[in-house]
Structure 1
Amino acid sequence: MKISVVAVGKMREGRLGELAREYRERLAHHLPVEDIEVREARVSGHDVAGALAEEAEAMRKVTPEGALTIAMMEGGKQIDSHQLAEWMDEWMVSGQRHVVFYIGSAHGLDRPLCRESQRRLSLSKMTFPHEMARMMLWEQLYRAMTIIRGEPYHK
């Protein structure tokens, strides 16, 4: 199974970028992973919906056919690390080839893209900066894999 995080905007260099890369590389010892960045659309006037639709189209273009898609969004389901591990284990056992997590821009994700996604997930009821959310998602994916493998990282 391959895991991709498709995010709007670039991850700047710095502590969060380094941590995200570290967790992604740790996870890559167990599964193929990729971090895909799509360009953030300019909001023309007050047309946030148009910008979100443009970003969503770019995200769809990089999503492999048949991938399980998960929209990371406010109002998504909140789960703990063990439940994420159960989901990942289920995906691997069932033969799911590709799982794609979508992370939107500061304006969020396009609502139609959220509805199209098979799952909608939230890291917390709190709002986090875009780069922090990416780092936290990679950390949680790595943590879930250590739970599945019975490794001591998760305590």
Structure 2
Amino acid sequence: MLSVKLICVGKLGEKFWADAVREYEKRLSAYCKLEIAELPEQRLPQTPSAGEIAAALAKESAAIRAKIPQGASVIALCVEGKTLSSEAFADKLGTMAAHGVSRLCLLIGGSCGLDEALKQDAALRLSMSPMTFPHHLARVMVLEQLYRALNILAGGKYHK
């Protein structure tokens, strides 16, 4: 069974986000072993300098790297990443599985995104849209798309 780890910078705040995440955790249990790791977002001043942002991203990156499972294929979610349809995302996951990928790690940054070096090291940079979303919503969206993709690969009816 596919092992998926979702590493998120920032905590879920409101109950409705947590409820949505729990719903997709339940749905995904039929298709993969899912683990979600939440890491604290680095605190920044109200108007941070570029250097302060870079330092914060570097600290977050070190914490993220420490949580990436050995041998996992990494997908970094970032606005400048590749946009894929649900079917294309399913195809990508299917191709990865055909090439022996059994561990997948998806990364969602905090309000300042992900460190550039971390994104460059990823097997795939994935964008859900050219729009910017709060990381709480991005977490729900990526879990839904992961569920949809795995359901497509299994020949399920969710996508139809």
Q: Same fold (TM over 0.5)?
A: yes
Alpha-carbon distance in 2 for matches of 1:91, 1:74: 22
Q: Determine the structure 2 residue equivalent to 1:7.
A: 8
Shift of 1:93: 2.6
1:111-122 matches, within 5 Å, as 111-122=116-127
1:50 CA displacement? 0.3
Rounded Cα–Cα distance in structure 2 between residues aligned with 1:33 and 1:92:
16
Q: Which amino acid aligns with 1:150?
A: G
- Please give the root-mean-square deviation of Cα atoms over the aligned residues, in Å: 1.3
Match of 1:35 in 2: 36
Tell me the residue number matched to 2:155.
150
Measured after TM superposition, the shift of residue 87 of structure 1 is 1.4
Report the equivalent of 1:131: 136
Q: What's the secondary structure of 1:126's corresponding residue?
A: coil
Question: Normalising by structure 2, what TM-score?
Answer: 0.91
The residue that corresponds to 1:58 in the other structure is 63
Q: Name the amino acid aligned to 1:51.
A: A
SS of 1:88's equivalent in the other structure is helix
Partner of 2:72: 67
The answer to whether residue 92 in structure 2 is matched with residue 91 in structure 1 is no
C-alpha displacement of 1:109: 0.6
Which deviates the most, 135-144 or 37-46? Answer: 37-46
Report the equivalent of 1:82: 87
Give yes or no for contact 1:43–1:50 (8 Å, CA) kept in 2.
Answer: no
C-alpha distance in 2, partners of 1:76/1:111? 12
- How far off its partner does 1:117 sit? 1.1
Does the Cα contact within 8 Å between 1:6 and 1:37 map onto a contact in 2?
A: yes
Letter in structure 2 aligned against 1:32: K
In the alignment, the residues of structure 2 paired with residue 30 and residue 62 of structure 1 have an alpha-carbon distance, to the nearest angstrom, of 22
Higher mean C-alpha displacement, 67-76 vs 18-27? 18-27
Give the aligned partner of residue 16 of structure 1. Answer: 17
User: Residue 32 of structure 1 aligns to a residue in which SS?
Assistant: strand
Of 102-111 and 18-27, deviating more is: 18-27
User: Post-superposition shift, 1:49?
Assistant: 0.5
Distance 1:95 1:13 in 2: 38
Cα displacement string for residues 105-147 of structure 1 (whole angstroms, at most 9, x for unaligned residues): 0011111111111110100011111100100000000001111
Normalised to the residue count of structure 1, the TM-score between the two structures is: 0.94
